[in-house]
Structures are given as C-alpha cells and as structure tokens.
A and B are shown apart, each in its own frame.
Chain A
Amino acid sequence: AQSVTQPDIHITVSEGASLELRCNYSYGATPYLFWYVQSPGQGLQLLLKYFSGDTLVQGIKGFEAEFKRSQSSFNLRKPSVHWSDAAEYFCAVGGAGGSYIPTFGRGTSLIVHP
C-alpha cells in the first residue's frame, strides 16, 4: 500500500528565510510524487510533480523539490519565503503500478513571521 509521511505538522520561518518541507513516501513501484498548496479557505493547487527524469523539479511560485529514491523522500524547498506563502502544504504519492488516485500526507502548516 502507498503512504506518505509529512513529519512536521507546523513549520515557522521568518520572511526571507529559506524553507524545506519534508516528505517521505512508501510505494512499491516507481512513484508519481506531487506537492499541493492549500491557502486558507481555498482548494488545493498543484505546485509541482515528479514522474521521471531529472530528480530536481521546478514548480510554480519559486518552489522546487528533489526526488531521492535512496531516502524515499521528496522534500519541497524555497530559497526565500514570502508572507504570502503561509498556507498548508500537502505531499502526495501515486503511480501507474497501483491506484491512480494519489494518497495525501497529513499536511504541513507553514507560518511566516514578518
């Protein structure tokens, strides 16, 4: 069965600081990996996704994520956080070898201090 672990429930950073949100997954085949962002009162928006190829993936809003198969990780990074990045971030895993419906992690709440 596929699963996703986001070990940090909350992360607090200062505006302008760098950010890394952790995501570990469990999947029996080659995973499809996603990061979504949920702003307050909004639905989820896709930030980036990884299917194959270059393990460093660029997304929208200046975010990137790196797929590390040896560590079963897909951490999300941003070099300089803006106050508007405060939101809930969800990592998700799925793949053609199993259910095509992605499994979501519990989410990490990002708080940005001015």
Chain B
Amino acid sequence: DTAVSQTPKYLVTQMGNDKSIKCEQNLGHDTMYWYKQDSKKFLKIMFSYNNKELIINETVPNRFSPKSPDKAHLNLHINSLELGDSAVYFCASSPVQDLSTEAFFGQGTRLTVV
C-alpha cells in the first residue's frame, strides 16, 4: 500500500486553465504539506495543514487553494494556471506538527503548463 499517494502523476495543461492535484495518506498522520520543486530542484514549502487546519501559507499566490476535507486528504487546486506554475508538486505527511518526526513524501505530480 502506498503511504502517501498523489494523482495525477503527470499533468499537462494550457495557460488559464484550472486544475486540481489530489493527495491522500493512509498513515494516520495529523499533518500534511504541499511542496513545490522548481526546475532547479529547489524544494519550497507551500502549505501545511494540521488536523484539517491551515498552519503555514508561505507567500503563495491566491490562485493556489488547498482543501483538506479530512485529515487523510489534502488537495491542491490551482486557478488560472501560468507558465511559471510548471514544476513538480510534492505532497507529504508527518505524524505530528513536530520536526522530530519524519516526513513521508508522495511521488510528486509533474505539472507542465503550455
């Protein structure tokens, strides 16, 4: 069983479209994250949720809206996609909101905006 699963794995779409990436974890973790990895491999935190509550929102455009229907799911919706949104997006989870615990990452979603 995959611990943290994201769908889709690849997403190619045109500028201006709206798209969603889904993330589910079956580890029973309280905390989930979205990270963005750009073309230079820089990995930056976008959002962090703890028990469905937004904890961290790191200077991300309003076009990005996370949704957590329950603590096992953290979906990312992106409106009006731009070329610069092309990146690999990683979902992750950890047992608690605490650095002493390991973060488990999904396989990533490679988003290409054309």
Q: Which residues of chain A have a CB within 8 Å of any CB of chain B?
A: 32, 36, 41-46, 49, 51, 88, 90, 94-96, 99-102, 104, 106-107, 109
Q: Give the chain A neighbours of B108 by CB distance below 8 A.
A: 41-43
Interface stretch (choices B37-45, B67-75, B76-84): B37-45
B56 at the interface (CB under 8 A from A): yes
Contact B107 A100 (CB under 8 A): no
CB-CB under 8 A for A106 and B42, given A43-B107, A43-B108: yes
Q: Give the chain B neighbours of A43 by CB distance below 8 A.
A: 4, 90, 92, 104-108
Contact mask for chain B residues 76-114; partner A; CB cutoff 8 A; 1 contact, 0 none: 000000000000001010000111101111111000000
Contact B105 A104 (CB under 8 A): no
Q: Considering the chains assembled together, what is the distance between the CA atoms of A64 and B35 in angstroms?
A: 26
Other 11 A-B pairs with CB < 8 A, given A100-B98, A106-B41: A36-B105, A42-B108, A43-B104, A43-B108, A44-B103, A45-B105, A90-B43, A102-B99, A104-B42, A106-B42, A107-B41
Q: Considering the chains assembled together, what is the distance between the CA atoms of A44 and B94 in angstroms?
A: 13
Q: Give the chain A neighbours of B90 by CB distance below 8 A.
A: 43-44
Q: How many residues of B contact A (CB 8 A)?
A: 23
Contact mask for chain B residues 2-32; partner A; CB cutoff 8 A; 1 contact, 0 none: 0010000000000000000000000000000
Closest residue of chain A to B41 (Cβ to Cβ) is A107
Q: Give the chain A neighbours of B42 by CB distance below 8 A.
A: 104, 106-107
A-B CB contact pairs (8 Å), 8 listed: A32-B100, A43-B104, A43-B105, A51-B100, A88-B41, A101-B48, A104-B44, A106-B41
